[in-house]
Amino acid sequence: MKLEGYKLIFVVMGLIGVLLIATPALAGDIHLPSGAQFSELYLLGTNQMAENYPSNIAVGENYSVYVGVGNQLGSSAYYVLYVKFGNETDQMPNDTLSTPSSLQPLYEYRFSIQNSLDWENLLTFSVSNASISGKNSQINTLQLNGVAFNVDKPAIWDSKSATFKYQLLFELWIYNSRTSAISYNDRFVDLQLNLTRTL
Amino acid sequence: MALGSCLYSEPYVFAQTDQTTSKLQAANTAIEQAFNAVLDAEKAGANVTALLAQLNTAAGILAQAENSYRAGDNTTAAAQADSVLPIAQQVTASAQDAKQTALVVGQNAFWSTIAFTVIGAFVFVLALFLVWRRFKRSYIKSLSEAKPEVNSQ
């Protein structure tokens, strides 16, 4: 090989070496595309598994579920988790329009989560005042984590499933630091409940 | 007398509700400001784990206040909303301090990296140049010492 060929090899080695040495300084300015950013909302049964969810409920009995939220947004986030209570005819959140249910929230959790971390909490609920009369039922008082709420929610006998259908709805809302507002995060889970008996 | 009592107590209930609502609003605003400060600190590179834990304490009390308010317990809701404010303000102040510290640490780290890059690159290029000079000298020497070959035509 001629001297010019060796010279070229040295120049290339020099450039590669300088680039390697400058890598820590360049790393701050190079932003690789991040993965999908999203929040998770999940509901678990009493043993913190996706099983043994309460469904048939009776007045005076306590029931529990674990509700969890995961943050995969790339930075810390401040969430509000609303718990709503409705019957079969109440409007659920709309997936297509990304709108929340029109039901008023009864109970709420507020918390912030760092990126890639989860938050989980136990919700204990019970029906403390309800009535069944023929094909009509009404739940008057619902206790959520020990706080009693007047709900006065009626339900009509569903002959197909042979139940009085109610639902506990969990909606995830998130704080947007740009708009300084808390808005619906397009995530919800619902727990179908069947009122079986009153006192 | 009963009518008088009703007339007297109703404005009181409304005033208490309004007062509770404004206290809840103030607590909400304080929490949001605290979260914004924590987020800024996090973006600056600060470790915000402890700050978020403290913020969650305040946020949990605010949630309890909102729940009490919905359950009709205005007195408890107002007291809980009041107790949110000092925690949220402390989080905001601590987050602003953490942000300043992180910015200084980040700036120092940046200049250290630049200095390391410049010095490292200079030393590397100099070393490579010296190696190249030595290599070139030995290459030329080996060429000059080489015996000419006779080419028979």
Q: Return all residues near A85 (Cβ < 8 A) that are at least 6 apart.
A: A103, A106, A139, A142, A149, A151, A153, A166, A167, A168, A169
Query: Smallest Cα–Cα separation from A81: which of A157, A199, A160, A189?
Result: A189
Instruction: Give the per-residue pLDDT at B83.
Output: 97
Query: Smallest Cα–Cα separation from A66: which of A189, A157, A197?
Result: A189
Instruction: Give the per-residue pLDDT at B68.
Output: 96
Domain extents in chain A = 1-32, 40-197
Instruction: Give the per-residue pLDDT at A49.
Output: 94
pLDDT higher than threshold 60 for residue B10: no
DSSP-assigned letter for residue A107: E
Average pLDDT taken over every residue of chain A: 92
Q: Which CATH architecture has domain B2-119?
A: Up-down Bundle (1.20)
Residue holding tokens 């009864």?
A106
Q: Which CATH architecture has domain A40-197?
A: Sandwich (2.60)
Could you tell me the CA-to-CA distances from B39 to A47, A93, A178, B32, B56 in Å, in that order?
34, 29, 11, 10, 14
Chain B residues within an 8 Å CB radius of A105: 70
**What confidence tier does B9 reach under pLDDT thresholds 50, 70, 90?**
low
The answer to whether residue A180 neighbours chain B at the CB level (below 8 Å) is yes
* Residue range B55-107, pLDDT digits in tens: 999 999 999 999 999 999 999 999 999 999 999 999 999 999 999 999 999 99
Could you tell me the CA-to-CA distances from B124 to A23, A100, B114, B121, B136 in Å, in that order?
14, 61, 15, 5, 18
pLDDT higher than threshold 90 for residue A124: yes
* Residue range A22-77, pLDDT digits in tens: 888 887 777 777 788 999 999 999 999 999 999 999 999 999 999 999 999 999 99
d(CA B119, CA A24): 13
Instruction: Give the per-residue pLDDT at B6.
Output: 47
ipTM of the complex as predicted? 0.87
Chain A residues within an 8 Å CB radius of B136: 3, 6
What tokens appear for A196 in the block?
């079986």
Nearest by CB to A76, which of B48, B68, B72?
Answer: B48
The answer to whether A150 and A107 are in contact (CB under 8 A) is no
